[in-house]
Amino acid sequence: MTDPISAISFAAEMFSMALDAYKLFRKALAFPDSAEKLVLRLKVEYVRLQLWGRNSGLDRGQLPLQFRPFEDLILDVLKRLTMLFQDSTNLRKKYGLLPVVELPDSTPNNTGPSKTQRTASFMRIKQAWKGVAKLERDGSPALKAATQPEKSTIQAEKPDVSFQRRLRWAISSQSHFEQLILEIRGFTDSLNSLLRESQQLTLSHDWGRVQLAMLAGVEDAGSLQLVQATTEGYRECEDIFDMATRKAIVVGDSVYLNGLSSESVKSQVVGSDYAIQMVHKADFDLPSGFRDVSRCLARYKNAVPPSNFVIIEKKRYPAELSAEHRESLRARLKALLHLLNSSDRDRQSLPRCMGYWHEPEDSCWCLVYVIPSSPSINGIARSVDSPYHLLTLLDIIRHNPVIRPPLEHRIQLASDIAGVLSRLFGSQWLHKSIRSDNIVFCGSRIDQDVLSNSPLILGFEYSRQYTELASIDLVDLDLAQSLYRHPEYQGNERDRKKYRIAYDVYSFGLMLAEIALWTPVLAIYQERLKRHREEQSRSFLEPQAMILREEVIKIVERQLAFKIGLGYRDVVLWCLRQTQASMITDKELAAEFYSKVVVPLETISRTFR
d(CA 50, CA 23): 12
The per-residue pLDDT for 475 is 55
The reply to whether 236 and 247 lie within a common domain is yes
Q: From its phi and psi, is residue 308 left (phi > 0), alpha (psi between -120 and 50) or beta?
A: beta
The reply to whether 451 and 367 lie within a common domain is no
CA 573 to chain CA centroid, Å, is: 22
55-59, 230-234, 250-254, 379-383: the lowest-pLDDT one: 379-383
**What are the phi and psi torsion angles at 171 (to 5°)?**
-80, 110
The reply to whether 581 and 543 lie within a common domain is yes
Per-residue DSSP letter, 465: B
The per-residue pLDDT for 131 is 65
Do the domain assignments include residue 599?
Answer: yes
**What are the phi and psi torsion angles at 320 (to 5°)?**
-85, 5
The per-residue pLDDT for 338 is 86
The reply to whether 422 and 312 lie within a common domain is no
How far is CA 189 from each of CA 42, 52, 67, 74, 183, rounded to the nearest angstrom?
Answer: 14, 9, 16, 12, 10
Do the domain assignments include residue 116?
Answer: yes
Domain that includes residue 51, residue range: 4-196
CA dihedral 70, 71, 73, 79 (to 10 degrees): 160
pLDDT tens-digit series, residues 220-243: 889 999 999 999 988 889 999 999
The reply to whether 397 and 293 lie within a common domain is no
Neighbours of 559 (CB within 10 A): 14
pTM for the model stands at: 0.86
CB 490 within 8 Å of CB 496: yes
Give Dmax over CA atoms of the chain in angstroms: 86
Sign of CA dihedral 90, 12, 165, 45: positive
- Residues of the chain with pLDDT > 90, as a percent, come to 49
Look up the CATH number of the domain holding residue 560.
1.10.510.10
The per-residue pLDDT for 378 is 36
The reply to whether 357 and 412 lie within a common domain is no
34-48, 114-128, 311-325: the lowest-pLDDT one: 114-128
Number of domains forming the structure of the chain: 4
CA 528 to chain CA centroid, Å, is: 36
The reply to whether 188 and 283 lie within a common domain is no
The per-residue pLDDT for 328 is 84
Peptide bond between residue 99 and the one before it cis (omega within 30 degrees of 0): no
576-607 b/e with 16+ CB inside 10 Å = b? bebeeeeeeebbebbbbbbbbbbbbbbebbee
The reply to whether 502 and 591 lie within a common domain is yes
More confident of the two residues 2 and 292: 292
Do the domain assignments include residue 249?
Answer: yes
Do the domain assignments include residue 341?
Answer: yes
The per-residue pLDDT for 7 is 52
CB 556 within 8 Å of CB 513: yes
d(CA 278, CA 337): 12
The reply to whether 279 and 375 lie within a common domain is yes
Give the Cα-Cα-Cα angle 570, 574, 580 (nearest 5 degrees).
Answer: 165
The per-residue pLDDT for 39 is 93
The reply to whether 520 and 563 lie within a common domain is yes
The reply to whether 125 and 73 lie within a common domain is yes
Task: Find the mean pLDDT for residues 163-178.
Answer: 81
The reply to whether 307 and 344 lie within a common domain is yes
